[in-house]
Amino acid sequence: MAKPILISGIQPSGKLHLGNYLGALKHFVELQNSGKYRCFFFIADLHSLTEPYTPKEKVAQITDLMRSFLAAGLSPIKSVLFMQSAIPAHSELAWILNTLTPMGELRRMTQFKEKSGVSAESASVGLFDYPVLMAADVLLYDAGVVPVGDDQDQHLELTRTLARKFNARFGKTFVEPKSLHTAVPRLMSLDDPTKKMSKSRPAGCLFLDDSPAEIRTKLGRATTDSGKEVKYDEKHKPGISNLLLIHSSLSGASVSALEKRYARKGYADFKRNVAEVVVKALTPYQAKKKKVSLSSAKSAFTKGDKAAGAIAEKKTVEVKKKVGLL
Ligand code: LTN
């Protein structure tokens, strides 16, 4: 039997951090290497235009993410790696799906509400329409499986609704995809463990490209809690709990094994050890990234653009015929 088709994308919007790696890239590599799926992974550059940027920054973010895909272990041989904007069918199908999407559905999207904030009237139409472009990304490839964080569930639900609606009106054309979640640790900021780890708090954020010295400094300064026991307790010890989570997700040791291991040691010792675990985990990625030249990354994506483009083009012709444009 043919393998199920799997697709996911990442927006190029700033430096990747440990949370992005554990939440997406690492997971993509495992899915690719499982051999269970026909995998498509892409850079959602069109989506990323819905947040503020300069053209110069954008070029840098895109090329950096291309190299990161390869450095993390995504392979142009095992997977189809492509650039969203290289394939016009994404924008084209998004337009056709737009005509089937009620405004009310998009207005209800939690991510739109959060990102547009208090000024929904001045938010761009692109931000509003983000989920429809995402639906096009998935539906073009007949993907059945979409690995995403649970913050994207509502968008996947809309994707299924649009697939069903299109199929009901024009005949069976699209597959209804399911989201695939795996346990993703919720990493908190090192300098304020009550906030999510994010690039907007750089002092508390471990970036994948941070040097060993930077990693050691950030962990040395990480907020710990009162007391001196290394114990997982999110409520009373958010700082130590976060460090336990980081250690555990990178070393593979369970949190309870780590509590035992560090039972007789102080916070300082523990923090130094967490820093070494992070350095060790990031070293192969960083070494590989140094070796991935921009031109080799570009040729990997060019190959994928061709493969994905052919599939997407074929689907677009089918869609246009169904709706009466061809
Ligand atoms: N919205 C996603 C990125 C994304 C995506 C997709 C994921 C854009 N298109 C299609 C899966 C399938 C995000 O921000 N995580």
Whether the per-residue pLDDT at 82 is higher than 90: the answer is yes
Whether the per-residue pLDDT at 220 is higher than 90: the answer is yes
Q: Can you give the pLDDT at residue 216?
A: 97
Q: Can you give the pLDDT at residue 228?
A: 87
Q: Cβ(143) to ligand 1 under 6 A?
A: no
- 103: how many CB neighbours lie within 10 A of its CB? 8
**Mean pLDDT within 212-222:** 96
Whether the per-residue pLDDT at 22 is higher than 90: the answer is yes
Whether the per-residue pLDDT at 182 is higher than 90: the answer is no
**Mean pLDDT within 86-102:** 98
Spatial neighbors of 61 by CB under 8 A, at least 6 apart, are 12, 13, 14, 48, 53
Name the percent of the chain lying above pLDDT 70: 100
**pLDDT tens per residue across span 233-269:** 999 999 999 999 999 999 999 999 999 999 889 899 9
* Integer CA distances (angstroms), 221 to 6, 123, 205, 268, 273, in order: 40, 37, 12, 10, 14
The protein residue with its alpha carbon nearest to ligand 1, atom 11, reads: 8
Rounded to whole angstroms, how far apart are CA atoms 79 and 81?
6
Q: Can you give the pLDDT at residue 303?
A: 98
Q: Can you give the pLDDT at residue 31?
A: 98
Q: Can you give the pLDDT at residue 118?
A: 86
**Mean pLDDT within 136-161:** 97
Q: Can you give the pLDDT at residue 262?
A: 95
**How many Å lie between the centroid of ligand 1 and the Cα of residue 134?**
6
**How many Å lie between the centroid of ligand 1 and the Cα of residue 42?**
9
Q: Can you give the pLDDT at residue 226?
A: 86
227: pLDDT confidence band, cut at 50, 70 and 90?
A: confident
Spatial neighbors of 100 by CB under 8 A, at least 6 apart, are 162, 165, 166, 169
Whether the per-residue pLDDT at 224 is higher than 90: the answer is no
Spatial neighbors of 32 by CB under 8 A, at least 6 apart, are 39, 41, 73, 74, 75, 78, 79
Mean pLDDT of the chain: 96
91: pLDDT confidence band, cut at 50, 70 and 90?
A: very high
Rounded to whole angstroms, how far apart are CA atoms 165 and 87?
24
**pLDDT tens per residue across span 34-56:** 999 999 999 999 999 999 999 99
In the residue annotation, 196 being an active-site residue is answered as yes
Closest ligand 1 atom, residue 130 Cα: 1
* Integer CA distances (angstroms), 232 to 114, 185, 235, 236, in order: 31, 14, 9, 9
Give the residue, out of 109, 112, 115, 134, with the most ligand 1 atoms within 8 A of its beta carbon, to mutate for a pocket test.
134
Q: Cβ(20) to ligand 1 under 6 A?
A: no
Q: Cβ(138) to ligand 1 under 6 A?
A: yes
Q: Cβ(6) to ligand 1 under 6 A?
A: no
> Furthest-apart CA pair in the chain: how many Å?
73
pTM: 0.95
Rounded to whole angstroms, how far apart are CA atoms 205 and 184?
17
Whether the per-residue pLDDT at 184 is higher than 90: the answer is no
Instruction: Name the catalytic one among 15, 165, 199, 320.
Output: 199
